[in-house]
Amino acid sequence: MNGKMKAIMKHHRGPGAVLREVEIPSIQNDEVLIKVKATSICGTDVHIYNWDDWSASRVHPPYVFGHEFSGEIVEVGEKVLNFKIGDYVSAETHLVCGHCPQCLTGQYHICEHTKIIGVDTQGCFAEYVAIPATNLWRNPDQMPSDIASIQEPMGNAVHTVLNGDVAGKSVAVIGCGPIGLMAVGVAKAAGASQVFAFDLNEYRLNLAKQMGATTVVNSAKENPIDVAKQLTNGHGVDVVCEMSGHPVAMDQGFKMITNGGRVSILSLPISPVSIDITNDIVFKGIQVQGITGRKMYETWQQVSRLLNSGQVDVSPLITHHFPLEEFEKGFQLMNKGTCGKVVLHP
């Protein structure tokens, strides 16, 4: 397809972004072209927009960023056999090599050579995006486009929570950004007996209640460790899902975990974090997991089923919708923390 499209560009090595008219992407034989219906702003996009140390070391402007979306296929490459024009899709955003030791043993989510759509390649903050057919996920026709656009980050939450047993257990979610909020809903749906939500932001703690948290704690007003111990008969919580990346909060998570518990870490601290390994890991005999991406494509199946069954309702955390042209409003809300998930519509 030839022509121009609107797109949000990370235009320089500095803060901000701009809306520009650019060429519609040309597709390779193994790719499809998708008309974007909805695209949501991720914390990674905020890092790139703000231009922090991580983004300065990773991305290479100018390029179109953004990686969470839903849309309709409008063009199909010659080698694509299992998708057709008109299909309603989203996409796994990790582009993997297929030949490293991890890929060869089915662990595609930890591929040695992973590239991320919208970070290392052209992204979806645009009217159209080109995606390899191997990364596509077919959406149910009845799924709203905004909900379909947040399946990718929900996959992070599902992978974090369900990478071990949670049924009948107490679960602490530390950090109630959008993925933390999804983790609250997933833990509740998976049968957790208690779901604690910890944050400093009252707006997001209120959303955590709506997502099913049994206890919400403002960590600036109450001691998270004391609350967790009090509500678990002094034993500590069975599972900690670390979503904040804050050194103090991470240390609290290791101190509130019970002996033999599990700590799953999705957050990305921007600097080294001090943890008491002897007392909080070794002597407790706990399991510590690093969580990256989603299991391809086991996690996508779990996400789709949780949404389609109604076991997890993510609609409360989609708080704002804007046309693509008003993207700056969305980034301002994300930076202030006065929103859940922000969805842009080209």
Domain boundaries, the chain: 4-150+314-345, 157-290
Q: Does residue 278 carry a catalytic annotation? A: no
Judged against a pLDDT cut of 90, whether residue 17 lies above it is answered with yes
Please state the residue numbers annotated as binding site for NAD(+). 179, 199, 204, 266-268, 291-292
Task: Tell me the mean pLDDT in the region 221-230.
Answer: 98
Judged against a pLDDT cut of 90, whether residue 59 lies above it is answered with yes
Judged against a pLDDT cut of 90, whether residue 270 lies above it is answered with no
Query: 29: exposed, middle or buried (C-beta count within 10 Å: 0-12, 13-18, 19+)?
Result: exposed
> pLDDT tier at 225 (50, 70, 90 boundaries)?
very high
Spot the catalytic one: 44, 114, 214, 258: 44
Please state the residue numbers annotated as binding site for Zn(2+). 42, 67-68, 97, 100, 103, 111
- What's the sign of the alpha-carbon dihedral 190, 194, 199, 205? positive
pTM of the model: 0.95
Query: 141: exposed, middle or buried (C-beta count within 10 Å: 0-12, 13-18, 19+)?
Result: exposed
CA atoms within 13 A on the CB side of 25: 28
Evaluate whether 180 touches 199 at the Cβ level (below 8 Å).
Answer: yes
Reply yes or no on domain 4-150+314-345 having CATH 3.90.180.10.
Answer: yes
Q: Give the position of tokens 């600036």.
A: 220
Q: What is the C-alpha to C-alpha distance for residues 328 and 308, in angstroms, rounded to an integer?
A: 32
What would the CATH number be for the domain defined by 157-290? 3.40.50.720
Predicted confidence (pLDDT) per residue in 72-106, tens digit: 999 999 999 999 999 999 999 999 999 999 999 99
Q: Does residue 47 carry a catalytic annotation? A: yes
Judged against a pLDDT cut of 90, whether residue 242 lies above it is answered with yes
Please state the residue numbers annotated as binding site. 42, 67-68, 97, 100, 103, 111, 179, 199, 204, 266-268, 291-292
Task: Tell me the mean pLDDT in the region 101-115.
Answer: 97
